[in-house]
Chain A
Amino acid sequence: MRRKILTPAFLLLLLSMLSSLAAGQDAVKLDSNSFGAIEARHIGPAITSGRIAALDGVASNPRILYVGSAGGGVWKTTNAGTTFKPVFDKYTQSIGAVTVDQAHPETVWVGTGESWTRNSVSVGTGVYKTTDGGENWKPVGLENSERIGRIIVDPKNSDVVYVAATGHLWDSNDERGVYKTTDGGKTWQRVLFVDKDTGCADLGIDPQDSNIVYAAMWQFRRKPYFFTSGGPGSGFYKSTDAGKTWRKMAKGLPDGELGRIAIGVAPSRPSVVYATVEAKKNGVYRSDDLGENWTKVSGSPSATGRPFYFSRLVIDPKEYNRIYKTDFSIGLSTDGGASFTQRGGRAHGDFHAIWINPNDTSEVYVGTDGGVYVSNDKAGAFRFLGNLPVGQFYHVSFDMERPYNVYGGLQDNGSWMGPSSKPGGIQNKDWRNVGFGDGFHVWPDPLDKDIVYSEFQGGQIIRFHKALGEAKWVKPLPKQGEAKYRFNWNTALQLSPTNPRVMYIGAQFLFKTTNRGESWERISPDLTTNDPEKQKQEESGGLSLDNSSAENHCTIVAISESPLDEKTVWAGTDDGNLQVTRDGGKNWTNVVANITGLPKNTWCTSIEASRFDRATAYATFDGHQTGDMKVYIYKTADYGKTWKSLATDAIKGYAHVIREDRVNRDLLFAGTEFGLFLSLDGGAAWAQFTGNVPPVAVRDIAIHPRENDLILATHGRGILIIDDITPLRQLTQKVLESTATILESRPSVIATPGGSQEFPGDADFVGQNPNQAATITYYLKDRHVFGDLKLEVYNAEGKLMATLPAGKRRGINRATWFMRQKPPKVPPSPNLAGPSLFGPMVPEGTYTVKLIKDKETFTGQIKVIADPASPHPAADRALQTQTVWKLYQLQERLAFVDDVLTGARDQARDRAKKAEGDPLAKEMESFADKLDSLHKTLVATKEGQVTGEEQLRERIVELYGWATQYGGRPSQSIIDRIPLLEKEIDAAIVASEGITGKDLAGLNSKLTGKKLDAITLLTRAEWDKKQQEK
């Protein structure tokens, strides 16, 4: 009964009533879906790739490999590395462990939170599992472990899994040690725990007797200014009852406190177990009796370097004496650990992960600070896989070229610049290296296109000359009587927004240069706490001394000059000071104490002086390096006297950066460890931006003033660009509550055509280009389901230019219009007329857009402008348009003539068939043949892919292609040629009319005599009408 009542019309009515009722109840709140179809594009680069923390392959199909990156999620290849896809984009991007269940290779375990505990390391949110090869993942626990060093699946029982929970880096915690599940991850038991400061770094299992499990326990701690590896908690443990009980093994292992240990069980002879042990003296140890007794076999620096960062031991699956140890290079031993040689050749240094194909042990994949490499000769020579865009940028900037370039520095991969768009996509080869080491801030000189300032760790700054490739070191140096300058790992280097000649750099003092770094003026006293306890980086590292400048502290790490007042400059320090001067550096005030709720000494990660009000500034702070994961975002409107917190529960992840929009002062952007967040109301409410932005660390944000693009420096997915944020500026509460609203977009550019011929295959990453079409942006309060939803574009005269399909999702939708007129009609031929697939560009101007939503219409406008980068004067462009239209008309005229000819020909052949046996049939055939002969001079008719045949159609189409593919004045040859082509068409018409005029009347009267239909000829008016109907 009920079903009968629910007719579609009734249902429709009911639904619309329900939805309008619902709409009346609550105000529409901003959420991630409000941004709808606005998406970031990923431009890479993959030329540097980024740090890889873990690798695992599928033994039964070694073309399948999973790559766990330090900050860019999990990537999967099914073709031995030719192409990769990210398969973990909804989840935490920092990966510590990836393990394939070899008995069920569709099941893969991922431990989030990298365990290579460098200063910039991210955090995890537990263990995840897929049972369908990475399509779907489920979190299965240990969400407070922060980092996972290793996951091992019992080779004899897939439900039994061991997890090395390395645990918190910056504070004590309970959720660390060895965890075990016996039910495939439903429940976990902590089977080995030492103390709250000691976690598990590595695990091993005996492949023959899986009751035997080995664990490397590691005590470690990092502070913002110090790192300690080693302590009484560390040790090598063994269980012979599948984790129920454990013994700390000591026989033959070093005395005293231990640090990080790596474990390698030889698959081909599991009684042989190797370990690299961090101790007073680091060494390689070997046991030949299942880990009971140990012998130091080597102390080679090739196998024992930097244990906190390099501690993976992989034993060749077939040769138990062949050992691969990750290190600065690969430490390779072929004699059971007695000696090591360095491998890795021209691959990026700093190795973290190795996977050897067990079926063909010549094939060795390695993960480094610079991506994945593969060797096919047992780690002899390596091929780089240029398709993993997991670079870890610290900062980003841009220039004003067309298209603009982006600049930024990456973890261990130097500084780079690359174009924001390129015909065919942004390829690895389009990027250019402009600085070395670990890269951070990079600034193109606003006054000299050849000059780029870039820095590397510890405040090393170079002025790089692009054309020459020459670098000049311009770091400030202490003057007579001055203290040593302290520069952070990630030193603040900032261009002035008011004066293109001014640049700032932060040590403990703030410096300013006006002569391109030739000399620096000190404009502040020590702005830090200058706490001597936090300046002991020379002693940092624990058992293995590690002073790379990563622990340099009591330094300035954030600088912002007011865009409204060059004398107001803000400086934030890593030890929690926030200082401001209003007189260009003469006097400074530390205003951090005015911030309530901010723990003392919390690292200031960014400051943004407002461009709308000189007393207003925003600041972010980050306490994660003391274990404080809270979000700290503040705003002052009185030069720092009072502060208001802008942090809400909607923001996830500790805060790196805040940016104020350049146009709408209420539009704010925040980058945190877990993504990008937007506020439309000055920071009262926030929502995560999820349009193709995974929950990756967003370290820096820039807004391009001309293109209105939002440019993100991610620490794990390279550079992301959200094209044209103009619509976001209009997303007010009123718009959010409207049924539909057309939002203004930036003017659409008639791009200068471009292209290139190359065939790079599929193996290299190609960064996405911005859409070249005009973008029409509109907001829908609810998903559109019933009735039409389409867009119509009208020119100034009210002529309908295009009808476009329109997206239906809730939130912002973006439709594209190619800005072209209808393509010309060309006579049919066995070969495609490629250039004629597209019509001429529409003229510049303002176009009216109508969004037709069932019975309602919403109206807006878009602007189409000439390419500002075009070198062609308006007169030349006009001539181009005129020429294109002439060639367009020629094609249509030809199409008409040919249609007349072939139409008459086909009628004649039809009548011939009908008059079969009658002499008229022959006359008809002969008439048809005459027409066909003429047709064959107008259109290429030979079939085949390479006929080379060129008739009038082909000659016109070729010129149409030439003229449309160039944005300026067509060549004189083309211009001169057009009248000749016109004459050819005239001649064809004459010839056609000659045939029909001479023969048709007679033939038609004969046809009528035979009671057959006369042959009719199409008029141009009729033909035009037919085209319109198509």
Chain B
Amino acid sequence: MTKNLIAICFIVGVALCAVAAGQTVDELLQKNLAARGGLDKVRATKSIRMTAKVHTDNIEIAASVQIKRTGMARIDAEFQGMKIVQAYDGEVAWQINAPEGKTEPEKMSGDDEKDVREMGDIDGPLVDYKAKGNAVELVGKEDLEATPVYKLKVTEKNGAVRYFYLDCKSYLELKVSSKRKVEGKDVTADEYFGDYKSVGGLMMPHSIESRVDGHVDNQIVIEKIELDVDIDDGIFKMPKKPEAKPAKGA
């Protein structure tokens, strides 16, 4: 679940990518940015709220995602009235997962925590990547299911590697690929992005298909995206007591 929903946040991070060094990479990222609505527009975005349907294992789950520019993020979902929350306030990643019996907030650990922390990085690994100690390299041009794409290798400071595939026509992201551990097993996780639509001048994907080792794991349809909504910082912080009410948008 975490991984699935991270994809939503992640692409938003991608949307906020900045100019990179290296002539070709630089050009590509500029074009990508232009396609998305331009740097000013991207930078001006303070917060994002999305509602989505997650289709997985023949079940449809309603979910919402809220991201706030200072590096906070929160996902809410509900399942037979049971709550799932995953959030990060810039310091602590925490969750509630009632279907798994975790009805009280608890800190996340291991890969789960890493995932949510990544989600908190609203800009994604590309923005200020040098300052962050990340490296971006143009691997080359290749075919993504018969669509020509540019393949970018992004190596983060911590050594994590992700591959970004930019559409050669539109310069928008069509796929992000990484290695992950799922239940302790090494897998290739691919996120395919589509259904790009303009939201307040930003071109944003409204469809994400996640594949694990090449098999479709889940599909997310984003129904609504709102920009610059007021979100209280408090909802990102881990409550001391069990949550009494789901957050707005749940």
Q: Measuring CB to CB, which residues of chain A are less than 8 angstroms from any residue of chain B?
A: 3-4, 6-9, 11, 15, 18-19, 31, 33, 36, 78, 83, 85, 692, 773, 782-790, 804-805, 807-811, 818, 820, 823, 826-830, 832-833, 836-838, 943-945, 1030
Considering the chains assembled together, what is the distance between the CA atoms of A3 and B36 in angstroms?
11
Inter-subunit contact B203/A833 (CB<8 Å): no
Please name all residues of chain A whose beta carbon is closer than 8 Å to the beta carbon of B213 when the two chains form the complex: 85
In chain A, what residue has the closest Cβ to B58?
A818
Residues of B55-78 whose CB lies within 8 A of A? 55, 58-59, 62
Please name all residues of chain A whose beta carbon is closer than 8 Å to the beta carbon of B58 when the two chains form the complex: 773, 818, 820, 838
Instruction: Kindly state whether residue B198 has any CB partner on chain A within 8 Å.
Output: yes
Given contacts A7-B201, A811-B145, 10 further A-B contacts (CB under 8 A): A3-B34, A15-B169, A36-B145, A78-B186, A787-B196, A789-B195, A805-B207, A807-B209, A808-B195, A829-B80
Instruction: Return 21 A-B CB contacts under 8 Å, by A number.
Output: A4-B38, A8-B201, A11-B170, A15-B170, A31-B146, A33-B143, A33-B146, A83-B185, A783-B167, A785-B172, A789-B207, A805-B209, A805-B219, A808-B192, A808-B195, A809-B145, A826-B80, A830-B98, A833-B80, A838-B59, A943-B103
6 smallest A-B Cβ distances: which pairs? A828-B81, A33-B146, A805-B219, A818-B58, A809-B145, A810-B146
Considering the chains assembled together, what is the distance between the CA atoms of A8 and B202 in angstroms?
8
Inter-subunit contact A789/B194 (CB<8 Å): yes
Instruction: Kindly state whether residue B101 has any CB partner on chain A within 8 Å.
Output: yes
Inter-subunit contact B169/A808 (CB<8 Å): no
Instruction: Kindly state whether residue B120 has any CB partner on chain A within 8 Å.
Output: no
Considering the chains assembled together, what is the distance between the CA atoms of A826 and B197 in angstroms?
36
Instruction: Kindly state whether residue B152 has any CB partner on chain A within 8 Å.
Output: no
Shortest B194–chain A CB gap in Å is 4
In chain A, what residue has the closest Cβ to B167?
A785
Considering the chains assembled together, what is the distance between the CA atoms of A837 and B99 in angstroms?
12
With most chain B CB atoms within 10 A of its CB, the pick from A31, A773, A804, A807 is A807
For the complex, count residues of B whose C-beta is within 8 A of A: 46
Instruction: Kindly state whether residue B35 has any CB partner on chain A within 8 Å.
Output: yes
Indicate whether A8 sits within 8 Å of B169 (C-beta atoms), given known contacts A33-B145, A837-B80, A1030-B62.
Answer: no
Please name all residues of chain B whose beta carbon is closer than 8 Å to the beta carbon of A15 when the two chains form the complex: 169-170
Inter-subunit contact B197/A787 (CB<8 Å): yes
Inter-subunit contact A830/B103 (CB<8 Å): yes
Shortest B96–chain A CB gap in Å is 12
Instruction: Kindly state whether residue B231 has any CB partner on chain A within 8 Å.
Output: no
Instruction: Kindly state whether residue B45 has any CB partner on chain A within 8 Å.
Output: no
Considering the chains assembled together, what is the distance between the CA atoms of A31 and B98 in angstroms?
48
Indicate whether A6 sits within 8 Å of B35 (C-beta atoms), given known contacts A773-B58, A783-B145, A805-B219.
Answer: yes
Q: Which of B38, B81, B194, B221 contacts A784 (CB 8 A)?
A: B194
Shortest A56–chain B CB gap in Å is 20
Inter-subunit contact B206/A788 (CB<8 Å): yes
Inter-subunit contact B198/A9 (CB<8 Å): yes
In chain B, what residue has the closest Cβ to A828?
B81
Instruction: Kindly state whether residue B109 has any CB partner on chain A within 8 Å.
Output: no
Please name all residues of chain A whose beta carbon is closer than 8 Å to the beta carbon of B185 when the two chains form the complex: 83
Please name all residues of chain B whose beta carbon is closer than 8 Å to the beta carbon of A19 when the two chains form the complex: 169
Instruction: Kindly state whether residue B24 has any CB partner on chain A within 8 Å.
Output: no
Please name all residues of chain A whose beta carbon is closer than 8 Å to the beta carbon of B99 when the two chains form the complex: 832
Q: Measuring CB to CB, which residues of chain B are less than 8 angstroms from any residue of chain A?
A: 30, 34-38, 55, 58-59, 62, 79-82, 98-99, 101, 103, 143, 145-147, 167, 169-170, 172, 174, 185-186, 192, 194-198, 201-203, 206-207, 209, 213-214, 219-221
Please name all residues of chain B whose beta carbon is closer than 8 Å to the beta carbon of A829 when the two chains form the complex: 80-81
Please name all residues of chain B whose beta carbon is closer than 8 Å to the beta carbon of A807 when the two chains form the complex: 209
In chain B, what residue has the closest Cβ to A819?
B58
Please name all residues of chain A whose beta carbon is closer than 8 Å to the beta carbon of B37 when the two chains form the complex: 7-8
Considering the chains assembled together, what is the distance between the CA atoms of A11 and B206 in angstroms?
18
Shortest A427–chain B CB gap in Å is 18
Shortest B214–chain A CB gap in Å is 8
Inter-subunit contact B81/A787 (CB<8 Å): no
Shortest A825–chain B CB gap in Å is 8
Shortest B235–chain A CB gap in Å is 20
Please name all residues of chain B whose beta carbon is closer than 8 Å to the beta carbon of A783 when the two chains form the complex: 145-147, 167, 174
Please name all residues of chain A whose beta carbon is closer than 8 Å to the beta carbon of B195 when the two chains form the complex: 784, 786-789, 808
Inter-subunit contact A785/B35 (CB<8 Å): no
Inter-subunit contact A790/B34 (CB<8 Å): no
With most chain B CB atoms within 10 A of its CB, the pick from A809, A820, A838 is A809
Please name all residues of chain A whose beta carbon is closer than 8 Å to the beta carbon of B103 when the two chains form the complex: 830, 943
Inter-subunit contact B34/A837 (CB<8 Å): no
Please name all residues of chain A whose beta carbon is closer than 8 Å to the beta carbon of B192 when the two chains form the complex: 808
In chain B, what residue has the closest Cβ to A899?
B81
Please name all residues of chain B whose beta carbon is closer than 8 Å to the beta carbon of A788 when the two chains form the complex: 195, 197, 206
Inter-subunit contact A836/B80 (CB<8 Å): yes
In chain A, what residue has the closest Cβ to B79?
A832
Inter-subunit contact B80/A8 (CB<8 Å): no
Considering the chains assembled together, what is the distance between the CA atoms of A18 and B167 in angstroms?
14
Considering the chains assembled together, what is the distance between the CA atoms of A830 and B81 in angstroms?
9
In chain B, what residue has the closest Cβ to A8?
B203
Indicate whether A785 sits within 8 Å of B174 (C-beta atoms), given known contacts A805-B221, A809-B145.
Answer: yes
Q: Which of A785, A787, A811, A823 contacts B146 (CB 8 A)?
A: A811
Shortest B238–chain A CB gap in Å is 20
Please name all residues of chain B whose beta carbon is closer than 8 Å to the beta carbon of A943 when the two chains form the complex: 101, 103
Shortest A137–chain B CB gap in Å is 15
Please name all residues of chain A whose beta carbon is closer than 8 Å to the beta carbon of B186 when the two chains form the complex: 78
Shortest B231–chain A CB gap in Å is 22
Please name all residues of chain B whose beta carbon is closer than 8 Å to the beta carbon of A838 when the two chains form the complex: 58-59
Inter-subunit contact A805/B34 (CB<8 Å): no
Shortest B36–chain A CB gap in Å is 7
Shortest A753–chain B CB gap in Å is 13
In chain B, what residue has the closest Cβ to A31?
B146
Considering the chains assembled together, what is the distance between the CA atoms of A943 and B82 in angstroms?
13
Please name all residues of chain B whose beta carbon is closer than 8 Å to the beta carbon of A828 when the two chains form the complex: 80-82
Please name all residues of chain B whose beta carbon is closer than 8 Å to the beta carbon of A827 when the two chains form the complex: 81
Indicate whether A810 sits within 8 Å of B147 (C-beta atoms), given known contacts A6-B34, A6-B35.
Answer: yes
Please name all residues of chain A whose beta carbon is closer than 8 Å to the beta carbon of B194 when the two chains form the complex: 784-785, 789, 808
Please name all residues of chain A whose beta carbon is closer than 8 Å to the beta carbon of B38 when the two chains form the complex: 3-4
Considering the chains assembled together, what is the distance between the CA atoms of A810 and B167 in angstroms?
13
Please name all residues of chain B whose beta carbon is closer than 8 Å to the beta carbon of A784 when the two chains form the complex: 194-195
Shortest A3–chain B CB gap in Å is 5
Shortest A609–chain B CB gap in Å is 36
Please name all residues of chain B whose beta carbon is closer than 8 Å to the beta carbon of A808 when the two chains form the complex: 192, 194-195, 207
Considering the chains assembled together, what is the distance between the CA atoms of A784 and B192 in angstroms?
12
Shortest A877–chain B CB gap in Å is 21
Shortest B199–chain A CB gap in Å is 10
Please name all residues of chain A whose beta carbon is closer than 8 Å to the beta carbon of B82 when the two chains form the complex: 828, 830, 832
Inter-subunit contact A837/B170 (CB<8 Å): no
Q: Which of A18, A790, A811 contacts B221 (CB 8 A)?
A: A790
Shortest A6–chain B CB gap in Å is 5
Considering the chains assembled together, what is the distance between the CA atoms of A840 and B49 in angstroms?
33
Considering the chains assembled together, what is the distance between the CA atoms of A784 and B170 in angstroms?
11
Shortest B61–chain A CB gap in Å is 10
Considering the chains assembled together, what is the distance between the CA atoms of A787 and B170 in angstroms?
13
Please name all residues of chain A whose beta carbon is closer than 8 Å to the beta carbon of B101 when the two chains form the complex: 830, 943-945
Shortest B203–chain A CB gap in Å is 4
Inter-subunit contact A8/B36 (CB<8 Å): yes
Please name all residues of chain B whose beta carbon is closer than 8 Å to the beta carbon of A692 when the two chains form the complex: 214
With most chain A CB atoms within 10 A of its CB, the pick from B169, B185, B214 is B169
In chain A, what residue has the closest Cβ to B38?
A3
Shortest A690–chain B CB gap in Å is 11
Please name all residues of chain A whose beta carbon is closer than 8 Å to the beta carbon of B36 when the two chains form the complex: 8
In chain B, what residue has the closest Cβ to A833?
B80
Considering the chains assembled together, what is the distance between the CA atoms of A40 and B231 in angstroms?
47
Please name all residues of chain A whose beta carbon is closer than 8 Å to the beta carbon of B145 when the two chains form the complex: 33, 36, 783, 809-811
Inter-subunit contact B196/A786 (CB<8 Å): yes
Shortest A465–chain B CB gap in Å is 39
Shortest B56–chain A CB gap in Å is 11
In chain B, what residue has the closest Cβ to A827?
B81
In chain A, what residue has the closest Cβ to B81?
A828
Inter-subunit contact A786/B169 (CB<8 Å): no
Considering the chains assembled together, what is the distance between the CA atoms of A78 and B185 in angstroms?
10
